Amino acid sequence: MIPPGAHGGDGARLAAALGVDPGAILDLSASLNPVAPDAGEVVAKHLDAVGRYPDPAAATEALAAAMEVDSDRLLLTNGGAEAIALVGAELGGRVEEPDFALYPRGSGPRWRSNPHNPSGRLARDDEVAGVWDEAFYPLATGRWTRGDEGVVVVGSLTKLLACPGLRVGYVLAPDARFIRCLRQPAWSVNGLAAAAVPDLLDSVDLPGWASALAGLRSRLVGLLRSAGLAPEPSDANFVLVRAPGLRVRLAPHGVLVRDCASFGLPDHVRIAVPDAAGLARLEEALCAAA
């Protein structure tokens, strides 16, 4: 059994251990949008971008238009991880455990994933934070952002568009001044991402995706309950379950779930919501693992 990585997404390593193609693994340790169109078809139309230096200006304008915000308040980043690193370097921060491992642990503004990672619960309307991580917020609510004034937001297009290898995140700041303070290296956003993002955003249907996800999540919860598990309530595209040993039992069947030891929850797993075919595959694996 492969040891868990720090942040999930271990499907390729499990495939190597089992001697199978990575496409044969149902990787539910990575919480991606199960109803997003195939981003590869869009990216393939922009392969000529690899022959020139990237310019994220058009992609930034396209995302700003989709989010209905001023483009000078928005910075595209090399995935949500770079967005977190840039803001953390500028502001510092603290968390209330458990929360995502990449956030700063020190002094400064409170950071809060919303929905909370790993529980999947949305923040209360009266809850406040200095930095919101809204990587999963659009799929939970059908809206781009909660819209708190005077706070910094980090997000991840690659989770929303189910293309984590493309690496596109963003920082949404209260004003352009904060964006100018961030010390982003040149050409952080790769050329394929910069070229493809405007076309990828054309396919986005946040209300429709959120509705479809809610239905799939309900089916996942029912499936887990029928297997004798008790998933916790979730608003996100994943659920948290106390299930010691489940990761090890499912892995030989080509199904991978997220070990939550890095959150301080060693007896729990986080299971991403799959599409209908994934639900059937998970049901088979749960029966076999039992």
Kindly report, residue by residue over 201-235, the tens digit of the pLDDT: 999 999 999 999 999 999 999 999 999 999 999 99
The HSE-up count of residue 51 (CA atoms within 13 Å, CB side) is 3
278 inside domain: yes
What average pLDDT does the structure give for the chain?
Answer: 96
Q: What is the spatial distance between Cα 74 and Cα 109, in angstroms, rounded to a whole number?
A: 20
Q: Structural domain tally of the chain?
A: 2
Where in the sequence is the domain holding 175, given as residue range(s)? 39-202
Angle between the 206-226 and 276-289 helix axes, to the nearest 10 degrees? 20
pLDDT of 190 over the 90 cut: yes
Could you tell me if 86 and 192 lie in one domain? yes
Tell me: the pLDDT tens digits for 50-90?
A: 999 999 999 999 999 999 999 999 999 999 999 999 999 99
Q: Is the dihedral of CA 155, 193, 159, 264 positive or negative?
A: negative
Amino acid 194 reads: A
Q: What is the spatial distance between Cα 262 and Cα 290, in angstroms, rounded to a whole number?
A: 26
Could you tell me if 49 and 186 lie in one domain? yes
Q: Mean pLDDT, to the nearest integer, of 266-275?
A: 97
2 inside domain: no
Could you tell me if 89 and 63 lie in one domain? yes
User: What is the domain-level CATH number for residue 244?
Assistant: 3.90.1150.10
- Hey, what are 92's tokens? 């510092």
User: What is the domain-level CATH number for residue 147?
Assistant: 3.40.640.10
CB 95 within 8 A of CB 103: yes
- Hey, what are 35's tokens? 């109803």
CB 118 within 8 A of CB 260: yes
Q: Collapse the DSSP code of 7 into the 3-class scheme (helix H, G, I; strand E, B; otherwise coil) and give the result.
A: coil
Q: What is the spatial distance between Cα 248 and Cα 117, in angstroms, rounded to a whole number?
A: 22
Count of CB atoms situated within 10 Å of the CB of 110: 17
31 inside domain: yes
Name the pairing type of β-strands 169-172 and 268-272: unpaired
Partners of residue 272 on adjacent β-strands = 238
Whole-model pTM: value is 0.95
4 inside domain: no
Could you tell me if 135 and 93 lie in one domain? yes
pLDDT of 1 over the 80 cut: no
Tell me: the pLDDT tens digits for 163-173?
A: 999 999 999 99
Q: What is the spatial distance between Cα 290 and Cα 77, in angstroms, rounded to a whole number?
A: 43
Vertex 222 angle, CA 221 and 226, to 5°: 115
